[in-house]
Structure 1
């Protein structure tokens, strides 16, 4: 729903600022860890299959337990889930550091570490997606601003600052990045521990866990708007993964870049992503959320096509920046609408179902990209990916238009107003 840019903006509450601080520090730690993990793995084995297994181990928990994790989050105190999960992830990393010091570091240990940290990510990310709208009373305008700040922190600290820091810290000692990531989790846990509690759902309202997990998926699939908001990142991940699978070869063989040039291209993405999260609210205020989502879909399609047709680093770098900006804005706006309209008791399950749909498309896109590059050349994954991104424009036009977004937000606000009135009457 569009708003008047001239109206004074309500301040974000102190509770959100604490979540933002915790998420920012944790994002830096994630950037350090995700950069150091392949370096650490490569110091233990040169087998490409084992290296890919280590990388896949972090994603596998989402595919196996994502929906169940969302159901558990909807049962539990979400604040408690977040701080305990980060405390557990810190302990895991400190244990890995101790194992490295004792000479026990091995490929199986790294696989187990990546898998368990991925399990923690399910619980933390899903709980955070459900907790933020709680502390912001599902106010659509506040959610857009809050998600823009959270996404901006991820783009800068996880995507821009963390990776070079991780590479540098690895040169000081291969376990040093793990220590830094563990400390980031300790900080996040301590900060979140001070936030207001999120009461768990009464046991009397609970049903079998798998039925509750399926309920979130059904709620998502039965809502054309929510399904459209989830199909956008699914198609995006499919298209982007097709190109990401061969991007380093594309940069070397088609753009004739060395390691420095390749790093600069990645920097373009990080800068573009930050600008996209920063500008998402302003674009939404002017075009409406649905209009902004249509614009980002068009920009993603144009940028992906430009990458596939680019013949030098400058136009490809600009296209990468535009693509990252449009992607960040899409994530901010889609997530804000979802958090504003989904009932609080279902938020964890719906968020998990949406994340599972998006992540499940990535490995399929990577496989397609590898086949296309082999059969038709390194530009083919980007050009074919642009076709799928074009389909996301049709989804935005038909499923997530301004009319449908504003109608859903108005209905959600009506339901909340009724609930507030009922609670007020009960208190009297």
Structure 2
């Protein structure tokens, strides 16, 4: 891996650590300001709201702008927002409306950062699918370790020291990340047709995604995965208590089991599986394993067996995401990379809230096991629908077309 990627990876690690601390502290701070569960949930949801509201526009703008600059400017903007939050807390100006606004703007910064990072990576690694898969595995593994294992406990501990301390720590992490990214090599901004509106360019990215069967299949897999995970994740705490007999500590270990599986899937399983089966077959296998593990988890009565199945679920999900992201980056034209990335993420993120509502309704109507049984059926059904869209033959043809295209110089020195 080139030195520039290691710099980007370090920045992502620092940022993920701060994000984990912030995400644990945000609902705790909201709870201090309001005891209404709906209000507290709205604060958390506000960080995801920018994706359906402005996701396509963000993709079009990223395709117009210098991508490393977009990343470090987004980091500095988020650092400034968190410093404002700390100052508001010190002077007693924090309120739910302020917290909602800060959460929404932080989510907007994350939207631009993530889209620019995903669009920059193929240029940095010369669209080499093996390097892209490895890079996405490293980034996914870092996000899991720092954002799910280390960050949340650190955030809770820092919140106990002072309610705005985690936000100050996250601000520092964003500044460090911005400094690291500021030194990344530049890439040429893709050429574009002058005089077109942002809206017209946004629609072009969405049309390209829908019309390309391979890209559409790659977008549908995480969307259905988020739909299923939203459905059973919404009632996971009830399932852990009522079906597995777990208390608060056991529920925490269950969440950790999914994170362990995610780390294994991203760092250990994805690469060998792709080399042995090919990307298309590997994606089919991970989807089938995920559906089977969700079904087994939903039928589990023993907490140890349930935890083992949750490890498998996390492993299959992470491997799918790593392989799918790397393939999308390898086959998407450079000029459309930001827009296709944003459109894919819009489809995926929007499915989560719908799944959560569906899961709650199913649990209320048919019991806490119902969301898992239905989710397993949906996952396997979608695997059958998309397996021809993401077959090895179709992937090989798409990669062959990319190799025939003229190659532009990817990285420019500072």
TM-score (norm 2): 0.96
Q: Deviations over 1:343-391 (max 9, x none)?
A: 1110000000000000111111111101001010011111111111112
Rounded to whole Å, the distance in 2 between the matches of 1:195 and 1:206 is 30
Q: Is the 8 A contact 1:369 1:381 kept in 2?
A: yes
Residue matched to 1:385: 375
Q: Is the 8 A contact 2:208 2:340 kept in 1?
A: yes
Residue matched to 1:3: none
Residue matched to 1:401: 391
Residue matched to 1:371: 361
From 321, 324, 330, the equivalent of 2:320 is 330
Residue matched to 2:83: 94
Q: Deviations over 1:26-63 (max 9, x none)?
A: 11111111111111111111101111211211111111
SS at match of 1:399: coil
Residue matched to 2:261: 272
Residue matched to 2:32: 43
Rounded to whole Å, the distance in 1 between the matches of 2:407 and 2:297 is 49
From 259, 284, 309, the equivalent of 1:319 is 309
Q: How far is 1:204 from its partner?
A: 5.8
Q: How far is 1:127 from its partner?
A: 0.2
Residue matched to 2:412: none
Which segment drifts farther, 99-108 or 203-212?
203-212
Q: How far is 1:183 from its partner?
A: 1.0
Q: Deviations over 1:128-170 (max 9, x none)?
A: 0000111101111110111110111011111211111111111
Over the aligned positions, Cα root-mean-square deviation in angstroms equals 1.2
Q: How far is 1:396 from its partner?
A: 4.0
Which segment drifts farther, 15-24 or 193-202?
193-202
Residue matched to 1:216: 205
Residue matched to 2:340: 350
Rounded to whole Å, the distance in 2 between the matches of 1:17 and 1:184 is 17
Q: How far is 1:206 from its partner?
A: 5.1
SS at match of 1:76: coil
Q: Deviations over 1:172-200 (max 9, x none)?
A: 11111111111111111000000112333
Residue matched to 1:288: 278
SS at match of 1:256: coil
From 137, 156, 175, the equivalent of 1:186 is 175
Residue matched to 1:159: 148
Which segment drifts farther, 201-210 or 97-106?
201-210
SS at match of 2:33: coil
Consecutive unaligned residues of structure 1, counting only runs of 5 or more, are 1-11, 424-428
Q: Deviations over 1:377-412 (max 9, x none)?
A: 011111111111112321342111111111111111
Q: Is the 8 A contact 2:83 2:171 kept in 1?
A: yes
Rounded to whole Å, the distance in 2 between the matches of 1:36 and 1:387 is 36
Residue matched to 1:109: 98
Q: Is the 8 A contact 2:239 2:369 kept in 1?
A: yes
Rounded to whole Å, the distance in 1 between the matches of 2:130 and 2:193 is 34
Rounded to whole Å, the distance in 1 between the matches of 2:395 and 2:302 is 40
Q: Is the 8 A contact 1:290 1:396 kept in 2?
A: no
Q: Deviations over 1:280-305 (max 9, x none)?
A: 11110111111110110011101110
Q: How far is 1:203 from its partner?
A: 7.2
Consecutive unaligned residues of structure 2, counting only runs of 5 or more, are 410-414
Which segment drifts farther, 210-219 or 253-262?
253-262
Relative distance call for 1:47 and 1:213 in structure 2 (3 A) is same
Residue matched to 1:300: 290
Task: Establish whether residue 78 from structure 1 lines up as the match of residue 67 from structure 2.
Answer: yes
Q: Is the 8 A contact 2:136 2:322 kept in 1?
A: yes
Q: Deviations over 1:239-297 (max 9, x none)?
A: 11001111111111211111110111011011110000012111101111111101100
TM-score (norm 1): 0.93
Relative distance call for 1:307 and 1:179 in structure 2 (3 A) is same
From 104, 108, 114, the equivalent of 1:119 is 108
> What is the number of residues matched between the two proteins?
408
| Pairing of 1:56-67 with structure 2 (within 5 A) | 56-67=45-56
Q: Is the 8 A contact 1:293 1:396 kept in 2?
A: no
Rounded to whole Å, the distance in 1 between the matches of 2:9 and 2:113 is 14
Q: Is the 8 A contact 1:297 1:396 kept in 2?
A: no
Residue matched to 2:19: 30
Rounded to whole Å, the distance in 2 between the matches of 1:358 and 1:25 is 25
Rounded to whole Å, the distance in 2 between the matches of 1:392 and 1:30 is 32
Q: How far is 1:104 from its partner?
A: 0.9
